[in-house]
Copies of this chain bind each other. A is one copy, B any other.
Amino acid sequence: MNHAIDNLGFARVDVDRQTRQGVGEVVYGAGKSAAQIVEILRSLAAHGQSPALVTRLDAAKAAAVAAAMGADFTYFADAHLGRLGANRPADGRGTIAVACGGTSDLPVAEEAARTAEALGNTVVRLYDVGVAGLHRLLACSDALKAARVVIAVAGMEGALPSVIGGLVAAPVIAVPTSVGYGASFGGVAALLAMLNSCAAGVSVVNIDNGFGAGFLASRINHLGEAT
């Protein structure tokens, strides 16, 4: 287990993860200063880890990072996601469908979609297809059935993954969002609904974790390449 580490003191950057696991280390932006993020991105770039993603990056920090990194750095404001370097070529075996229940779920859905695109996937977006207007969802049946992986993003009662899970044969990654009020408890209601889905083939990531869903979908979508 000897792997290259770049020890910056406040962080130990895993600079050969791309070789080892196919995708480089991703920077969790929420608890770090812009200066720390820049230093880590430079370390990753210096070791050929590209693209490098920064999640949970607010606009102010993003501006500071962009100023330091230049034109190679792109910020997706909707998704609170930064990317250093270009998307990988879209070499996944199929498409990834990202469906969400309502307009308010868009930031999380975009985080998933942008992550998947950065990691080399073609993404189909199916937004505002909540279960209370079933015809909107059923009108998207073909796109859903054609996908190799489906990401289902929903807040409030979180029923979308269960309904989709009954329609498709692909794995469904459920992402609860913190959209709602009162007894939604910041996404807990949706999370519990998804964990208790009566549809088989559904698994769940943390509340608002669009990145995690996009990352996992990409991993599944690249399976089978080298067998």
14 other A-B residue contacts (CB within 8 Å) besides A181-B208, A183-B192:
A10-B127, A94-B227, A131-B159, A131-B198, A148-B227, A156-B197, A157-B197, A158-B196, A183-B188, A184-B196, A200-B211, A203-B216, A223-B223, A223-B224
Q: Please report the C-alpha to C-alpha distance between residue A197 and residue B132 in the assembled complex, in whole angstroms.
A: 8
Knowing A181-B30, A212-B200, the reply to whether A159 touches B162 (Cβ < 8 A) is yes
B206 close to A128 (CB less than 8 A): no
Q: Which of A76-98 contact B (CB under 8 A)?
A: 93-94
- Expressed in whole angstroms, the minimum distance between the Cβ of A65 and any Cβ of chain B is 15
**Is residue A191 within 8 Å, beta carbon to beta carbon, of the partner chain?**
yes
Note all chain B residues with C-beta closer than 8 A to A3. 133, 135
Knowing A11-B128, A31-B102, A163-B159, the reply to whether A182 touches B195 (Cβ < 8 A) is yes
The contact of A135 among B5, B191, B200, B209, by CB within 8 Å, is B5
Q: Which residue of B lies closest to A227 (CB)?
A: B93
The contact of A216 among B168, B202, B211, by CB within 8 Å, is B202
A104 close to B157 (CB less than 8 A): no
**Is residue A68 within 8 Å, beta carbon to beta carbon, of the partner chain?**
no
The contact of A157 among B101, B148, B158, by CB within 8 Å, is B158
